[in-house]
C-alpha cells in the first residue's frame, strides 16, 4: 500500500524532472556550450525540482501555520528577508552547484583511492542481508543513520569553539521563522554537506533515496523553525522534531549554551528524531516559548553584532573563526562565543 504510493510519487517526480530538464535545463546547457554536463544537469534538475516543491509547501502550508498561531509578531522584516535569501540560495541550487564543483570531485577522488587500497563497498544490505529488499525498510534505516550523523554534527557545532563561531550565524536570528533553517555560514554548510555526501558514498545509499532523505529532512527543518505555536503532543513530540521542540534549542540561555555543573550545555540538538536527544540526555520537553538568540546579543550583555545583512554575517563569522584558531604568536585567549 505505502509501497505503491511511493512508487507513484517517484514516477510522477521522474516525469516532471524529465520535462523540466528537456524544456529548460538542457537547452540552457547547450546554449552555454556545456553540453558535456548533460548527465550532471539532469541530476541537478532533480535537486531544483525538490527545492521548488519545498518552497511551494513553505509558501502555502507553512505560511498558513505561521499566520494561524504565531509565537511572536514579526517586527523585524529586514532580518527575515535575509533568511529568505539564504533559503532561495540553498534550495534552488546555488549551494548545490558549489558542492558539485568543490565537494563531489574531492570525494570521488578520495573514495576511488580508498577502493584501490581495498576498502570494501559496504551497505546496510551487506550487514543485514535481505533487509534492503523492502525499499521502505532500507529507506527508514538510512533516514535514521543520516539523522544520527546530523545529531552528532550538530553537537560538534556547539562543542567545538571554532565551529560554534560559524554556527552562531544560525543562532543569531532573533526573529525565527520558517526561513531561518538555511541561515548558516557557507563554510558551515560546506563542512556539514561534505560529511553527509561522504557518508552517502560510504554506505552506498541509492541516489534517489539520498535525494528523498535530504528533501524530507529539509522540509522538517523548515517546519521546526516556523514561527508557530505548535507541539505534536506528549507522544508526538518524542517522535518527530517540531516547532516547539526546536525553538527551545534556539532559546537564549537554555537551548545552546554550556552552563555550570549539572547542565548539559544545551538541549534539543536533534534534526528529525528526538530519540537521539533522549538517548544522549539532551532532550527537554518544555511548553514555554521564550526569546531566541545568543546571550551576548542582549544589550545588557554587550550587544554583540553578528551582522544584519548576508555579507556582514558571513564576514563576521569568518573573523570570529580566525580569531579562534590557534595561530602562531597568539596567547590562548580564545573564549567561546
Ligand atoms: Zn544549534
Ligand atoms: Zn535551528
User: What is the whole-number distance in angstroms between the Cα of residue 7 and the centre of ligand 2?
Assistant: 32
* CA neighbor of 55 nearest in space, from 227, 181, 190: 181
CB proximity list for 308: less than 8 A, separation 6 or greater: 78, 79, 82
| pLDDT for the residue 122 | 63
Distance CA 272, CA 143 (A): 9
C-alpha torsion sign, points 137, 224, 257, 90: positive
Ligand nearest to the CA of 221: 2
| pLDDT for the residue 63 | 96
| pLDDT for the residue 92 | 86
User: What is the whole-number distance in angstroms between the Cα of residue 46 and the centre of ligand 2?
Assistant: 26
User: What is the whole-number distance in angstroms between the Cα of residue 168 and the centre of ligand 1?
Assistant: 8
Helices assigned H by DSSP within 204-335: 207-225, 233-239, 243-249, 275-279, 310-324
Query: Which of 49-74 are b and which e, b meaning 16 or more Cβ less than 10 Å from the residue's Cβ?
Result: bbbeebbeebeeebeebbeeeebeee
Ligand nearest to the CA of 265: 1
- Whether the pLDDT of residue 170 is over 60: the answer is yes
Q: How far is CA 253 from the centre of its chain?
A: 23
Instruction: Categorize the per-residue pLDDT at 292 as very low, low, confident or very high, splitting at 50, 70 and 90.
Output: very high
| pLDDT for the residue 287 | 87
**pTM for the full model?**
0.87
Instruction: Categorize the per-residue pLDDT at 66 as very low, low, confident or very high, splitting at 50, 70 and 90.
Output: very high
| pLDDT for the residue 125 | 64
Ligand nearest to the CA of 266: 1
148/117: higher pLDDT: 148
Cell of 85: 535569501
Q: What is the pLDDT of residues 226-284, one digit of tens each?
A: 999 998 999 999 999 999 999 999 999 888 776 544 344 789 999 999 999 999 999 99
Phi–psi pair at 292, nearest 5 degrees:
-105, 160
- Alpha-carbon distance values, 283 to 35, 113, 140, 276 (Å): 50, 40, 22, 8
Ligand nearest to the CA of 167: 1
Distance CA 149, CA 7 (A): 27
Instruction: Categorize the per-residue pLDDT at 67 as very low, low, confident or very high, splitting at 50, 70 and 90.
Output: very high
Q: What is the dihedral of CA 185, 187, 190, 195, to 10 degrees?
A: -100
- Alpha-carbon distance values, 73 to 11, 69, 227, 246 (Å): 41, 10, 9, 18
17/117: higher pLDDT: 17
| pLDDT for the residue 148 | 97
Instruction: Categorize the per-residue pLDDT at 199 as very low, low, confident or very high, splitting at 50, 70 and 90.
Output: confident
102/93: higher pLDDT: 93
Whether 146 and 196 have beta carbons less than 8 Å apart is answered as yes
- Whether the pLDDT of residue 89 is over 50: the answer is yes
User: What is the whole-number distance in angstroms between the Cα of residue 171 and the centre of ligand 1?
Assistant: 7
Amino acid at each position: 500500500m505505502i509501497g505503491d504510493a511511493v512508487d507513484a510519487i517517484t514516477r510522477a517526480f521522474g516525469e516532471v524532472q524529465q520535462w523540466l530538464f528537456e524544456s529548460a535545463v538542457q537547452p540552457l546547457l547547450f546554449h552555454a556550450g556545456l553540453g558535456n554536463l548533460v548527465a550532471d544537469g539532469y541530476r541537478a534538475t532533480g535537486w531544483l525540482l525538490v527545492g521548488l516543491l519545498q518552497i511551494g509547501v513553505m509558501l502555502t502550508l507553512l505560511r498558513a501555520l505561521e499566520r494561524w498561531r504565531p509565537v511572536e509578531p514579526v517586527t523585524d522584516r529586514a532580518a527575515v528577508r535575509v533568511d529568505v535569501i539564504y533559503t532561495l540560495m540553498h534550495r534552488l541550487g546555488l549551494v548545490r552547484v558549489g558542492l558539485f564543483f568543490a565537494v563531489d570531485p574531492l570525494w570521488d577522488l578520495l573514495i576511488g583511492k580508498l577502493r584501490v587500497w581495498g576498502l570494501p563497498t559496504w551497505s546496510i544490505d551487506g550487514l543485514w542481508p535481505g533487509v534492503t529488499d523492502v525499499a521502505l525498510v532500507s529507506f527508514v534505516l538510512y533516514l535514521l543513520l543520516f539523522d544520527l550523523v546530523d545529531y552528532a554534527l550538530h553537537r560538534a557545532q556547539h562543542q567545538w569553539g571554532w565551529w560554534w563561531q560559524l554556527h552562531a550565524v544560525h543562532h543569531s536570528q532573533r526573529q525565527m521563522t520558517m526561513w531561518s533553517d538555511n541561515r548558516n555560514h557557507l563554510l558551515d554548510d560546506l563542512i556539514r554537506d561534505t560529511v553527509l555526501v561522504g557518508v552517502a558514498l560510504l554506505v552506498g545509499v541509492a541516489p534517489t533515496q539520498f535525494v528523498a532523505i535530504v528533501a524530507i529532512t529539509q522540509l522538517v527543518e523548515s517546519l521546526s523553525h516556523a514561527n508557530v505555536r505548535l507541539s505534536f503532543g506528549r507522544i508526538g513530540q518524542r517522535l518527530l522534531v517540531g516547532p516547539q521542540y526546536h525553538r527551545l534549542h534556539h532559546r537564549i540561555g537554555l537551548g545552546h549554551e554550556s552552563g555550570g555543573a549539572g547542565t548539559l550545555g544545551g538541549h534539543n540538538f536533534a534534526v528529525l528524531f528526538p530519540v537521539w536527544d533522549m538517548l544522549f540526555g539532551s532532550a527537554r520537553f518544555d511548553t514555554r516559548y521564550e526569546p531566541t538568540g545568543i546571550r551576548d546579543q542582549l544589550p545588557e550583555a554587550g550587544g554583540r553584532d553578528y551582522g544584519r545583512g548576508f555579507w556582514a554575517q558571513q564576514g563576521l563569522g569568518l573573523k570570529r573563526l580566525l580569531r579562534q584558531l590557534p595561530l602562531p604568536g597568539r596567547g590562548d585567549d580564545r573564549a567561546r562565543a
